[in-house]
Amino acid sequence: MNELTILTTLAVVHFVALMSPGPDFALVVQNATRYGRQTGLYIALGLSCGILLHSILSLTGISYLVHQQPIVFALLQLAGGSYLSYLGYGALKASWSSLRQPKINHTEAAQPSLLLSNRREAFSRGFATNILNPKALVFFVSLMSSLVPASMSLSGKGIALVILWSLSLLWFSFLAWVLSTQRMQNKIKAMAVYINLLCGLLFTVIGVTILWQSLLAIAQRF
């Protein structure tokens, strides 16, 4: 395949993966619907920067080396699973509090204790959610090794990185923008607590699954 074909295929595969439900998708939905556009956009920026770092590490072979070291990869799984479980616990706890006190309105519920109160915090949560997800590491190792040949030019690899980063930023920003419009906010206001609950369950299930896999991998080594 020529470089144009490779880059087009890479863009299509990556975009399809972006639209698939997962921790990144759930994080944008959860926070854009609950806390608004600015939080959603900075989470989108954090997620896309995490994807950029994963892409760079995969292109340089660092991610492959990590994946080939069972203990190191298991420890990454342990960290990632713990973080996603932590996000799930926080979301479930907030949802439970809201369901027990339904008279608290949406604005009052988003107090500083729960609200991502600044841009840095929103960006950091997006970045950490993506970079600590071991499934993302495996995806990018597979994507780069199967679609980007070692013989590809440096400019071609640079364009591939730009494509992966820009598609991620555009998709997650679009999602955050749509979910935070006034019309959409009015429609989902009554369902916000259930969206948060669903996202919390997704984080928890994925996090616990990753934790279980990491513990099994560590146990098999000893």
In tens, the pLDDT along 105-145 reads 544 444 433 445 578 899 999 999 999 998 899 899 888 88
The per-residue pLDDT of the chain, averaged, comes to: 85
- Quick one: which H or E segment has residue 2? none
Averaged over 189-216, what is the pLDDT? 85
Local structure of residue 60 (DSSP, 8 states): T
Please check whether residue 122 is in contact with residue 43, taking contact to mean a CB–CB distance below 8 angstroms.
yes
User: 189 lies in which domain range?
Assistant: 3-221
The confidence score (pLDDT) of residue 214 equals 84
Full-model pTM: 0.83
Once rounded to an integer, what is the mean pLDDT over residues 180-205?
82
Number of domains in the chain: 1
Contact 17, 172 (CB under 8 A): no
36: left (phi over 0), alpha (psi -120 to 50) or beta: left
Tell me the percentage of the chain whose pLDDT exceeds 70: 91
Residue 131 is predicted with a pLDDT of: 94
Q: Is the per-residue pLDDT at 30 higher than 80?
A: yes
Q: What confidence score (pLDDT) does residue 96 get?
A: 79
User: Which of these, 115, 96, 89, lies nearest to 194 by C-alpha position?
Assistant: 96
3-state secondary structure of 153: coil
